[in-house]
Structure 1
Amino acid sequence: MSQAKVLVVEDDIDSASVLDAYLRKDGFAVCMAHDGAHAIQLHAQWQPDLVLLDVMLPLVSGTDVLSTIRRASDTPVIMVTAIADEPNKLGALKYGADDYIVKPYSPKEVVARVHAVLRRARLVPAADGKLRHQRLTVDTHAVQASVTDEVGQSVVLNLTPAEFSLLATLLRTPFKAFTRSELMESCMPESGALARAVDVHIHNLRRKLEQHGIDGVLLTVRSVGYRFQ
């Protein structure tokens, strides 16, 4: 992650300075903005690899800055706020944030989150549309998942559309914990089923993967949902 560029958008000068020091110590290049308008300008000019974005900002709010960034690019954004309620967290993620940190925070935790989000952002599909994990290949173009067996033969998995969509979504951003609602919205947007229906699909998907020796990759995150490991 050496010399990855992080734009810190924070109107509290002391908090911004602390983050600046910790990020630089960990090898990041840092640029700071203390209001939303300046943040939008710096994002366009400096083109950071990640944005740490406070919600409460003068001139332009953090959510409006996020919307502006998302219209122009897919730069990873971590929202920072003093509001810890669930609707605000899910709202930030819904509108394009990659992660969410609640104040007061540990600067070391923030740096760790920055590393984690950058790792996820760099794990993109190959040009052929294929996502891979060990012997598992998910072809997003052909909408087909397969496992390479002990003799090197490719065995196609018999997945339902919902199971395939869940697998591709989780594998595309490993380490990210998805809520059931996020998975429903992303993988089954027109379904009238309850979010708990995701549990059934994950159970069936695990079973099919385990039949081919792919064990322990779909993890349950307590009180949240699921992630791929």
Structure 2
Amino acid sequence: MKLDQISNYVFCDKRLNEFDLEVKLLPNPYYDYPFLIIKDFLSPTICDELIRSVKKEDDYIDAKIKKENYQNYTDKSIRKTKIYKLDDEYKYIYKKRFLEVQKQIEDYFSLALTISTKVQVLEYSKGSFYKAHSDDSNMIYKDEELIGFKNVAINRKLTTVLFATSCEDNEAFNTFSGGELVFNFLFNEKGEVIKYKPKAGEMIVFLSNPYFTHEVLEVKSGYRLSLVQWHDAIIS
């Protein structure tokens, strides 16, 4: 596989630069990484309280797959996870904290955030997963070969994912095994695909375009809880 360097320590599949992508935005190539990790977005105590709050609720829907014009459908062979609503108490905590880090995010990606979606609370229990996808585009295949992307969510410029649980090989209350976040077209200096194992309270921020196509590997055990939001933006 041929790779192109996009930051100090990260390379992308060369095909991405050859595709006629509708959105080709990338961060500053002199950064160490093309994504931003905010390690202390929420405290461990707040994360544990949030987990307990969600576990009390039975009001959820099965997560869907996006199509053009925001027409969505359910396909559990591609995505198996549940969506919960965020309680007002935690909406306030999340929004207050997000406003504190918003400038850091905007400076990192050289953009100005405008409209954001509602926060989705995503629960991945044992056996849950989400196969490779781009947050703003559908992947186009011909004869089982990827030939490009079709933008179907033009208002998604930036993705934020906050983790309330940690990826660890133990059976603590707030941990899970498996369930890593994999960036399918991004690789490290050794040519290994970028695989992110989050800690509770961390937020990862990345652009929503095809360069950051990603998947959630199947959860082997434990409880994976994340808060996901998509943001429109004015690009500097």
* TM-score interval for Structure 1 and Structure 2 normalised by the shorter chain: under 0.3
* The structure with more radius of gyration: 1
TM-score (norm 2): 0.23
Ranked by relative contact order (alpha carbons within 8 Å, sequence separation 6 or more), the top structure is 2
Q: TM-score, normalised by structure 1?
A: 0.23
Structure richer in strand, relative to its length: 2
